[in-house]
Amino acid sequence: MSILEESFSEIHKKLHNKELKVSELVDASFSRINEVDDKVQAFLSLNEEAARNQAAKMDEALGTEDTRGLLFGLPSGIKDNIVTNGLRTTAASQLLANFDPVHNATVMDGLEKAEALTIGKLNMDEFAMGSSNENSGFYSTRNPWNTDYVPGGSSGGAAASVAAGEVSFSLGSDTGGSIRQPASYCGVVGLKPTYGRVSRYGLIAFASSLDQIGPLTNTVEDNALVLGQIAGHDRRDSTSADVGVSDYLSSLTGDVKGMKIAVPKEYLGEGVHEDVRNRVLEALRVLEQQGAEWEEVSLPHSQYAVAAYYLLASSEASANLARFDGVRYGVRASEADNLIDMYKETRSQGFGDEVKRRIMLGTFALSSGYYDAYYKKAQKVRTLIKQDFDQILEKYDVIVGPTAPTTAFKIGEKVNDPLTMYANDILTIPVNLAGVPAISVPCGFSEGLPVGLQIISRPFEESTVYRAAHAYEQAAGHHKAKPEL
């Protein structure tokens, strides 16, 4: 097993006892990237010189009180829509191919305070619009379990880099399932925090009322450690919630006796692959054996979630992406004769097909005469979906079901069928519309590909999500399986 696949606490112990150097961790990360990333293609850019220089300085602090943080010296990968001071940030778009930020996202300040190391920027669907990483403006990331298959999206590079053992953890963003679905496909742990739990300052916006940054890791414990470093109120983000950050590690007791679990019948019904359904039922039996209780419930408005989501997210994207016009930053079309043509040519050349598709849909939904019929109605449906979650979570501690209706699909299989691709997020989208926290943890395999178990709870009760996920993980042990590249 690679040193980067060991738990944070195990690595920290070796660092503190001077059995391991930070520079050796960095060496292991870049060595693994050199070994497998030509197959996986998780990274868009590397931060090698800066990471090695920082590691050399950190080696001098080993064995002192300065190494007490459990993220100290850990190699991390950052999704390329999270701005990093001095490190190119493209959102996987040709339009931002030359964008070098001059400030950090708030989450990067949190990681720097914890002295984690940034190894590089990770591939994604362009501007986070996609479910397979095939919409990257540069190249497609591949699933480490089978490189003929997609890693999921839009945080496909973030999930694949952890699964491939290239980094200890990564940060992704989740607008409609973009952390949890690739975590499921790649067999890692991925959390979408409560909306407002983690600052969005410095996240290149796709849909501002839905976007949320979260961690991807090998274990639930490691995930809780990363969230503890990036969560909290930020005055620079007007949607950041002024709610205290819990001690997430204290919830990892392994005890779920008496926990009440709701299982929506819609999450195990039509469209969910039989193997996925069976893995989830097996997981529920594991939790039942540990003393939890589960009952079937209904989330009746979930059937409308995909339609409402794509209207709302595309409408917000239409507004957010208006800033990319070739004037202030990013690539500018050089052959235009006037300002209007420069706008048109820059956006035509810079945006990919999926981004253009969503801008057009969003602009239409917001246009005069159609706003009430589409955007306003979608907002009403969103309220009904949130009310469904509120009512269920009044009676139950968590909601459990599959993260995705199927395992990963082959590269190229759905790329020309946008509606089929959109439906792939049917089980994750309602969580974003409701603004509640949810995690995906590995729960077995189907034909050699990982299956993810999704656990959902009340707003700002990430501790409850972690408690259930950790108890299941430790009993089932699926997190120990690793791909062979």
Q: How confident is the model at residue 34 (pLDDT cuts 50, 70, 90)?
A: very high
- What DSSP string runs through 67-129? G-STTTT-EEEEETTB-BTTB---TT-GGGTT---SS--HHHHHHHHTT-EEEEEE--SGGG-
Which token pair is 324? 């990319």
pLDDT at 65: 67
Q: How far apart are CA 364 and CA 88, in angstroms?
A: 33
The lowest-confidence range among 2-6, 144-148, 207-211 is 2-6
Mean pLDDT of 462-467: 98
* Reported confidence tier of residue 1, pLDDT bands at 50, 70, 90: low
pLDDT digits (tens, 9 = 90+) for 147-187: 999 999 999 999 999 999 999 999 999 999 999 999 999 99
Please return the burial class of 292, using the count of CB atoms within 10 Å of its CB with bins 0-12, 13-18 and 19+: buried
- What domains sit in the chain, N to C, each tagged with a CATH number? 3-258+439-452+464-480 (3.90.1300.10)
pTM given for the model? 0.96
- Options 29, 79, 93, 184, the catalytic residue: 79
Please choose, from the candidates 130, 249, 248, the residue with its C-alpha nearest in 3D space to the C-alpha of residue 197: 248
Best CA proximity match to 426, nearest among 236, 287, 275, 264: 264
Residue with tokens 């080696």: 59
| Angstrom distance (rounded) from CA 403 to CA 450 | 11
Catalytic residue chosen out of the listed positions 161, 168, 178, 251: 178
Segment 294-349, tens digit of pLDDT? 999 999 999 999 999 999 999 999 999 999 999 988 899 888 889 999 999 999 99
CA distance 310 to 306: 6
Q: Model confidence at 364, in pLDDT bands (50, 70, 90)?
A: very high
Active-site pick, 154, 155, 246, 302? 154
Of 4-18, 117-131, 333-347, give the range with the top mean pLDDT: 117-131
Give the model confidence (pLDDT) of 235-281 as tens digits.
999 999 999 999 999 999 999 999 999 999 999 988 999 999 999 99
Q: Report how far residue 454's alpha carbon sits from residue 440's, in angstroms, rounded to the nearest whole number.
A: 5
Residue 195 pLDDT: 98
On average, the pLDDT of the chain sits at 95
To the query of whether residue 154 is one of the catalytic residues in this protein, the response is yes
